C-alpha cells in the first residue's frame, strides 16, 4: 500500500528537478532566433504564393481549414493538402538549419 507522505515527497522531488533543469539548462535562444530567421526566409523564397497565403491565414490569423476553404472558394481537402505540402517543403528546407 502506498504511503501518502511518499507520494507528496515524490511530487516535491519532481518539482525540485524541474526548477533545477530550468536553472541549469543551456540557453538555446540563439538557435531559436536562427530558426525563426530561416523560417521567414524559407516562407518567402520556397513557397508558392498560394501556400504562403494559406499558411498566413492558418497560422498567423488563426483561421480553421473550413474557414479558409470558404474564404478562398476551395474544397477543404485542397486547403488541407496545400498546407501539408507547404509544411513539408518548409521542413525539408529547415531540417539542416541548426
Kind plus residue range of the DSSP H or E element containing 64: none
8's CB contacts (< 8 A; 6+ apart) are: none
Model confidence, pTM: 0.68
Name the DSSP letter for residue 26. Answer: P
pLDDT of residue 2: 52
* Residue ranges of domains in the chain, CATH in brackets: 30-94 (1.10.10.10)
Q: Is residue 43 a contact partner of residue 90, using CB atoms and an 8 Å limit?
A: yes
- Tens of pLDDT along the chain (98 residues) come to 455 444 555 556 666 777 777 777 777 788 888 888 999 999 999 999 999 999 999 999 999 999 999 999 999 999 999 999 999 999 998 887 65
pLDDT of residue 6: 46
Q: Is residue 68 a contact partner of residue 79, using CB atoms and an 8 Å limit?
A: yes
Amino acid at each position: 500500500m502506498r504511503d501518502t507522505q511518499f507520494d507528496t515527497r515524490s511530487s516535491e522531488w519532481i518539482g525540485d528537478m524541474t526548477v533545477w533543469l530550468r536553472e541549469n539548462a543551456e540557453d538555446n535562444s540563439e538557435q531559436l532566433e536562427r530558426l525563426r530567421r530561416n523560417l521567414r526566409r524559407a516562407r518567402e523564397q520556397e513557397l508558392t504564393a498560394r501556400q504562403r497565403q494559406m499558411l498566413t491565414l492558418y497560422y498567423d490569423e488563426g483561421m480553421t481549414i473550413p474557414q479558409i476553404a470558404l474564404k478562398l472558394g476551395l474544397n477543404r481537402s485542397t486547403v488541407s493538402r496545400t498546407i501539408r505540402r507547404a509544411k513539408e517543403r518548409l521542413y525539408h528546407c529547415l531540417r539542416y538549419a541548426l
